[in-house]
Amino acid sequence: MRYRTRLTMALVAVAFTFVPLTSSGAARNPALPIAARTPGAIDPRVTQANLSSTICVVGYTTRVRPSYSYTRALKISQLASGYALGNDRLTSHYEEDHLISLELGGSPTAPANLWPEPYLIANGARTKDTLENKLHRLVCARVVPLAVAQRAIATNWITAYSRYVG
């Protein structure tokens, strides 16, 4: 168990010290997707008018979620082509995440909406999950319009987290 703890701590330290760069050479926040590759994509079957029969129905995301084989293959491809932090291509260190979550009407299979979100960084995958749940509740309660929630999470989910979660 001690070995596993030390290994995890070492991986976290490596993840926090790696600073990926944008094509212009500026530092890129690894908690955000590469905007040109993953701008987000919506599912046109989900609209403000049909929330009660789509995303606000318990079990909706289970019905539309893509297969593990599809998302795993996409994750491997994305990690090999620029999404890996440093040389870390271990798929278990990433969640193939929908930028606009399924519970907010994001496209289930569009590569423009899927990216390998790292676990081992500040503001990693589990943090974004909290925002997705909060926005889902607000959209289904008709407090926040669907398009507003989709735009907020796709533009910069960390900023949206500050606004909607605190």
pLDDT at 28: 75
Q: Show Cβ contacts of residue 44 under 8 Å, excluding neighbours closer than 6 positions.
A: none
pLDDT at 10: 37
| Residues linked to residue 117 through DSSP beta bridges, in sequence order | 95
pLDDT at 126: 86
Domain extent listing, the chain: 45-164
Identify the helix (H) or strand (E) that includes residue 115: strand 114-118
pLDDT at 15: 40
pLDDT at 27: 65
pLDDT at 95: 94
Identify the helix (H) or strand (E) that includes residue 58: none
- Assign 106 to helix, strand or coil: strand
Q: What is the DSSP letter of 105?
A: T
How would you write the pLDDT of the chain (166 residues) with one tens digit per residue?
443 433 333 334 334 344 444 444 456 788 899 999 999 999 999 999 999 999 999 999 999 999 999 999 999 999 999 899 988 999 999 999 999 999 999 999 999 999 999 998 888 888 999 999 999 999 999 999 999 999 999 999 999 999 999 9
Q: How crowded is residue 20: how many other Cβ atoms within 10 Å of its Cβ?
A: 14
Alpha helices (H) in 1-143, listed in sequence order: 2-17, 60-64, 68-78, 125-140
Kindly report the pTM of this predicted structure.
0.83
Distance CA 80, CA 85 (A): 10
Distance CA 166, CA 164 (A): 6
DSSP of 47-62: -GGGGGGTTTSTTHHH
